[in-house]
Amino acid sequence: MEAIMKPSQAFGVAVRILGLLGWVAAFFYLLSAFVAWVAPDYRAGIRPWWQYAVSAAILFLVGWFLLRRADRLVVFAYPIRNSDASDA
C-alpha cells in the first residue's frame, strides 16, 4: 500500500498548482487591462492598459507551460537514475 507520494510526484503537483495560480493571476491582469481601457482615469498613476494585457499574456503562457509540461521540470529536478528505474 503506497499512500505517500514520492518527492518527485509532490513536486509535480506543486508545479501544476503554480501553473494554475498563474492562470488566475492572468485572469485578474486581463480584468485590470479591461478596466484601465474602459476608464483610464479611475485611479491616479494607473499604468496603460496594454501593460496589463502583456502581463496577462505572459502569465497565461507560463501557467500553460507549467500545467502542460510539468513532467519536464520534474525530470530536470529529479533525474532518472538507473537505481530509480526499477521503482517506477
Instruction: Identify the pLDDT of residue 5.
Output: 86
In whole angstroms, what is the distance from residue 32 CA to residue 14 CA?
27
Instruction: Identify the pLDDT of residue 23.
Output: 97
* pTM score of the predicted model: 0.78
Q: Is residue 23 included in any domain, yes or no?
A: yes
Instruction: Identify the pLDDT of residue 88.
Output: 47
For 43, phi then psi, to 5°, come to: -145, 140
Range of the domain at 50: 19-80
| Cα–Cα distance list, 34 to 15, 24, 88 (Å) | 29, 16, 47
Q: Is residue 46 included in any domain, yes or no?
A: yes
Closest CA to 12 of 78, 64, 60: 78
Number of domains into which the chain is organized:
1
**pLDDT, averaged in runs of 10, over the chain (88 residues):** 82 95 97 92 85 96 94 89 54
